[in-house]
Amino acid sequence: MNVIVAVDENWGIGKDGDQLIYLREDLKRFKALTMGHPLILGRKTMATFPGGRPLKGRRNLILSRNPDFAPEGGEVYHTMEELLAQAPEDAFVIGGASVYNALIGQCDTAYVTKIQKEFPADCWFPNLDEDPAWQAEEPSEVMEQDGVRYCYVTYHRVTK
């Protein structure tokens, strides 16, 4: 499986239930990379999407323990085991923190947007630079939006 995430310099990913920053080019890249592939996400991350709805053009496999949660256009799974039994190999894990932490061990490729700034954060992604199981490709060129610099780094799992 794949994982896609935007992290700050401390591998922070969110604060108060929302993203640290919205980068327009990064959102376009997210769409291009994930279009046509199933997405795996937690219920709180779906709440941050436009209208709080599943993303179009992709299966949305959403985790929630709430038996009454049934968003139109999404597939809800009440346990990780049920979800994994239905998750194809080309799926993208798209957050949030609880889902990333639970599934990073199942992922082989990580598409990381590295934001060259420290934000106040209350949730984090595992630091792949400190994990010998992961090896980074060369970073992309550095881009900038509103004075915030960022680049893309793809990581590959080299050992289980």
Ligand X SMILES: NC(=O)c1ccc[n+]([C@@H]2O[C@H](COP(=O)([O-])OP(=O)(O)OC[C@H]3O[C@@H](n4cnc5c(N)ncnc54)[C@H](OP(=O)(O)O)[C@@H]3O)[C@@H](O)[C@H]2O)c1
Residues that bind ligand X (CB under 6 A): 5-6, 13-14, 17-19, 42-45, 48, 63-66, 69, 78-80, 94-99, 123
Q: Which is nearer to ligand X, 48 or 136 (CB)?
A: 48
Q: How far is the CB of 75 from ligand X (least distance, A)?
A: 13
Residue of 96, 89, 102, 97 whose CA lies nearest to 49:
96
Q: How far is the CB of 33 from ligand X (least distance, A)?
A: 12
**How far are the Cα atoms of 9, 37, 104, 134 from residue 74, in angstroms, in the given order?**
33, 14, 22, 31
Q: Which is nearer to ligand X, 48 or 108 (CB)?
A: 48
Q: How far is the CB of 125 from ligand X (least distance, A)?
A: 7
DSSP 15: E
Q: Which is nearer to ligand X, 68 or 132 (CB)?
A: 68
Q: How far is the CB of 77 from ligand X (least distance, A)?
A: 7
Q: How far is the CB of 115 from ligand X (least distance, A)?
A: 9
Q: What is the spatial distance between Cα 21 and Cα 81, in angstroms, rounded to a whole number?
A: 32
Q: Which is nearer to ligand X, 47 or 159 (CB)?
A: 47
Amino acid at 55: L
SS (H, E, C) 46-109: HCCCHHHCCCCCCCEEEECCCCCCCCCCCEEECCHHHHHHHCCCCCEECCCHHHHHHHHHHCCE
Q: How is residue 106 written in tokens?
A: 């199942």
Q: Which is nearer to ligand X, 119 or 136 (CB)?
A: 119
